[in-house]
Amino acid sequence: MVSTGPKDQMVCELIAAKSAEKKQWFSFEYYPPKTESGVENLKKRILRMKELGPLFTDFTWGAGGSTAEVTIELCDSVKNQMGCVANMHLTCTNMAPEKVDQALADCKKCGVCNLVALRGDAPRGSDKWEAVDGGFNCAEDLCAYITKHHGDWFSIAVAGYPEGHPDNIDTVEGEVDAALASLSEAEKKRCAISTDEAGKKVVTVCRDAKYKIEMEYLKKKCDAGAKLVITQMFLDAGVFIEFMKDCKAWGINVPIVPGIMCLNNPGGLKRMVPMCKTRAQHMMEAAEQANTSEEAFKQWAIEFGTDLCKKCLDAGACGLHFYTLNLEKVTLGMLKGLGMITVEQHDKCLGSEADAKTMVSAQGITS
C-alpha cells in the first residue's frame, strides 16, 4: 500500500543543476531483499548512506513485477519518510500495459517521478526474452508509452551498453592473435579476451555493424523520451570514454552516467564477467592475486574502483552511479578515495554498520 506524497525532484533537473555548477555527484542502486528482515536491514543501511549526500537512491524491479510491491514500497519509504530522491526501475518482462499502468499510478500517488525504463532479462527458466501478448517489445516502446500517456511528468533514464548488449556480443573464430588481427581498431578497444571451460583463450566483441545498430537504438530511446543514460557494468575506463564520444557523435546529448559495479568478492566478479561479456583481461590477474582474504580483495577492489571512477570523471562524466549490491564498504572506500566524502563520513558510516552487526550478533538474529 503506497502513501500519498508530493511530486519528487526530477533527476534530470538535479543533474542539469549540478552540471551548471560544475559539481560532480554520485548515486546508489539497491535491489529489493526477499525477506521482511532484509528490507528493514536495507532501510537502515540506506538511512546511513543517505547522510553521504547521494543525488538519488535507485531500486531495481524484478522480472514481470516479481518485486513490484517491495520496489514501490522502498521508493515510497525513502522518498516520503527518509527524504531521499527515489528512482525506480520498470521493465517490460511479462508486463502487460495494465501492469505498467498500475505501477505508474502507484508512482504518481506517492510522488515518485524518476524511472529507469528497461526491457529487462528473460524470466527465470526461459532461454530467450519474449514480449507478452499486447505488451512491450523493448525499452523504446516503454519510453514512448510513458511519454504518450504522461507527458513530461516522469524523468526517464535508460540503459547504455559501452561494450554492446550481451545479446549482440559474438565470439571471434580462431586463435587469439588471428582473432584480434581480424578486428577493426574500434572493435579492439572494446573486445574481451577470456578463458573458456576447456582452458582456451576466447575473443568476444560486439562487431561494428551491430554496435552501429546499438547506437541507433539508444538514440531512438532518447528520442522516445529518455532524459539520461546510465551504463551497464564495465571494467575498463577506456571503453566508457569511447562510448561517451560515440554518443556525442550520434547526437545523443543527454547525460551519460557511468554505472560502477562494486566488486565485493571474487566469486561475484567471476560470475559477472562472463555473464555480461565484459572486457576484463587487464585486471583479472590482479584480482586473483588480491584474493588472499576477504579484506585483501576488498582493499584491492577499492583501489581498482577508485582509479576507474577517477578516469571516468576526468574524461568528463557528470557523476557516478554505484551498483552497491546492497553492501557499503567498497562503495564507501571508493568515495573516500575520490574525495567525494570525508574520512569522518566514511568512518562514521562504517562504524554505524559495525555497531549494527554487533547488536544483531549479540541478539542472535540473522538476516
Tell me which residues are annotated as active site: 29
Question: What are the distances in angstroms from CA 155 to CA 91, 291, 298?
Answer: 15, 41, 35
Residue with cell 562514521: 348
- Its sign, for the CA torsion 211, 215, 220, 226, is positive
- Intra-chain end-to-end CA distance of the chain, in Å: 24
Query: What would you measure as the largest C-alpha separation in the chain, in angstroms?
Result: 61
| Matching residue, cell 521493465 | 91
Contact 88, 156 (CB under 8 A): no
**CB under 8 Å to 225, separation ≥6 — which residues?**
143, 144, 146, 147, 156
DSSP notation for 346-363: HHHHHHHHHHHHHHHHHT
Q: What is the DSSP code string of 48-75?
A: HHHTT--S-EEE---GGGTTHHHHHHHH
For the four alpha carbons of 50, 2, 259 and 228, in that order, the dihedral sign comes to negative
Residue 142 Cα to chain centre, angstroms: 18
Show the cell assigned to 301.
Answer: 577492489
Q: Kindly give, in sequence order, each residue whose CB lies less than 8 Å from that of residue 211, ignoring residues fewer than 6 positions away.
A: 164, 168, 186, 190
